[in-house]
Structure 1
Amino acid sequence: MELVVTTPTGHVGSRVVRLLLQAGVRPRVLVRDPARLDADTRERVDVRRGDLTDAAFVRSAVEGADCVLWVDPTPHTADGAVELSRRTVAGLTDALRAGEAGRAVLLSSGGAEKRHGAGHIDGLARVEEELDATGADVLHLRCGYFFTNLLMNVEELAQGVLTTSADPDGPMPWVDPRDIGDVAAARMLAGSWRGREVQGVHGPEDLTWRRVAEVLTGALGRPVGLRVVADDDVREALRAAGLSAEAAENIIGMTAGLRGHTLEQARTPVTTTPTALAGWAYTHLRPLVAR
């Protein structure tokens, strides 16, 4: 079985690579800098070095693959991020359309079903549409809010503050990227699914930001208070950090565009994954905050 993993050093991709190795598969990994793979992993995978924004490289690198995990590498801070996400998947869509690769699993996001009005999540909506148009077998994993996004808040969490511009009382799915990797690997290894599928990956429970602050208070062993800011405050901070107006709006839109939105995928045994935020935060976040 020829399986291809993009962004193999990321939170999701690295987990998928590990599980495929444990399943007896030698995965093909597309990576810009092979040195970012640990030495033991490099010995056990088929490394294809190149840039995912290079369509010719991607098409060549996925040739003969039974299934490809596509993780969009476009940074939220890029100008024209939505269009760049759409263009970047061209190498994969060309290969699927030509029958040079079999199936694709996309790391998408809850909110992509809106298609418009959700900031850079609209980029994943465009990627979904591009993959769907190939007529190949494709699976869109629409994931909840990553636990690992909290790693960007370590300094302020050490000061006892959690900041958001989201609705503090609006529940939404929070998920461990490790669990997303488990789902992605399982679906890549399963050869029976056909057509277009969409699957939510929602973590064990929906959480409000107010509840997240309470969970972190217990897990970190220190009080964490919630600070709610306005979109204009975020916009001002992003522009002060040097981002363009367009990039700032793409970031703001990912939160603003989903206020009050009900996700298309319901919470079911299929969409629910096991890792709780409290345990993850105690293991991964607490040591960083303590330092």
Structure 2
Amino acid sequence: MRIAVTTPTGNVGRHVVAALVRAGVRPRVLLRDPGRLAPGLHEEVDAVRVDQYDADAVAAATRDIDALYWVDPSTASADPLADYARATAAVVRAVTENRIGRVVFQSSVGAEKRHGAGEIDGLAHTETALDATGVHVTHLRCGYFFTNLDLQLDAVRAGRLHVVLPLDQPMAWVAPRDIAEVAVTRLLSDAWSGRCVQAVHGPADLTWREVAEILTAATGRPIDVERITDDAMHAQLRDAGMPDGMADAVLGMSTGLREDFVPEQPRTVRTTTPTTLAAWAYDHLRPLIADGG
């Protein structure tokens, strides 16, 4: 089976690549800088230098591919939804032109809203565009990544996280490695067809209060969480260097799922994955905090 993987050095993609290699597959990996691949991996993959916004390059890199793991590339521009649209156009052309049989797309809980969820709207656009091609596609509706906490290391070290969601509102939290496991099983399986939506919810829905308690126990440092206003969060994002459009899109991912949002897929044994936030925080976050003093 010929499988292509985008963002192969990302939080999920690197686990997808490693699992495929262990399964005996030599994946074709598409990335801007092949030098970022992990040592020893070059001998196990076919690396192609690709800008995912370049439709010509994506189409050329995915010729003769049976299955594709597609992740819309990250963006930090003033118009992130326009960037998502460009990436979507590239994958649609590749799937159509190369008659790729199966696509597993890394989407997000909230994409079912289609509009009003900030940056997630870009993922919703990719979903609908892939659906229109008629390709066999699985949309992975992923919960909130544990690794999003890596972006808040300074706040974790300071012992106070700032959020705009109600502190007692539960949401799905998931380990990227678990998302990769679900993705790889889909990529290697021919037991599904048509349009599928597969939620990946992690082991439990957690409130931010519960997250703070878990992080405190796992890191050995007291960590609290405070709800702040939307304007205050927007100012923090701008102070971090985000242009207005990007800050709006990032903030919208929270505000769009804050009021009366119910995920399309309820939590079931099929959507529940095993890695707990406590285990991940102890193994991954605790050393990072210790290294930072």
Q: Which runs of 5+ in 2 are unaligned?
A: none
Tell me, what secondary structure is at the counterpart of 1:98?
helix
- The residue aligned with 2:250 is 251
Q: Is the 8 A contact 2:115 2:121 kept in 1?
A: yes
Cα distance in 1, alignment partners of residues 215 and 39 from structure 2:
35
TM-score, normalised with respect to structure 1: 0.97
Deviations 1:170-223 (A, max 9, x none): 000000000000000110000221100001000000000011001111101121
Query: Which residue is 1:203 aligned to?
Result: 202
The amino acid that maps onto 2:268 is: T
Contact persistence 1:173–1:203 (CA under 8 A): yes
Matches within 5 A, 1:175-186: 175-186=174-185
Higher mean C-alpha deviation, range 224-233 or range 89-98 = 89-98
Report the Cα distance in structure 2 between the residues aligned to 1:229 and 1:132, rounded to whole angstroms: 38
C-alpha root-mean-square deviation of aligned residues, in Å? 1.2
TM-superposed CA distance for 1:99, in Å, is: 4.7
Judge conservation of contact 1:62–1:92 (CA < 8 Å) in 2.
no
In structure 1, what is the Cα distance between the partners aligned to 2:137 and 2:221?
44
TM-score by length of 2: 0.96
The 3-state SS of whatever aligns with 1:40 is coil
Shift of 1:225: 1.0
Partner of 1:82: 81
State the distance in 2 between where 1:248 and 1:156 align.
18
1:157: which partner in 2? 156
CA distance in 1, matches of 2:240, 2:8: 29
Q: 1:217 maps to which residue?
A: 216
Aligned to 2:261: 261
Deviations 1:1-52 (A, max 9, x none): 0000000001110000001001110000001111101231111101111211
1:233-265 Cα offsets, whole Å, 9 max, x none, are 011222334433222211110000000311111
Aligned ranges 1:26-175 → 2 under 5 Å? 26-75=26-75, 77-175=76-174
Q: Report the counterpart of residue 232 of structure 2 in structure 1.
A: 233
CA separation in 1, counterparts of 2:4 and 2:38?
18
Structure 1 residues 282 and 66, CA gap change in structure 2 (3 angstroms): same
Whole-Å Cα distance in 2 between the matches of residues 247 and 257 of structure 1?
A: 15
Is contact 2:118-2:248 (8 Å) kept? yes
In structure 1, stretches of 5+ residues that fail to align are none
Give the fraction of aligned pairs with identical amino acids, expressed as a percent: 51
Structure 1 residue runs of 4 or more that deviate by more than 6 Å after TM superposition: none
Alignment partner of 2:250: what SS?
helix
User: 2:117·2:254 contact (CA, 8 Å) conserved in 1?
Assistant: yes
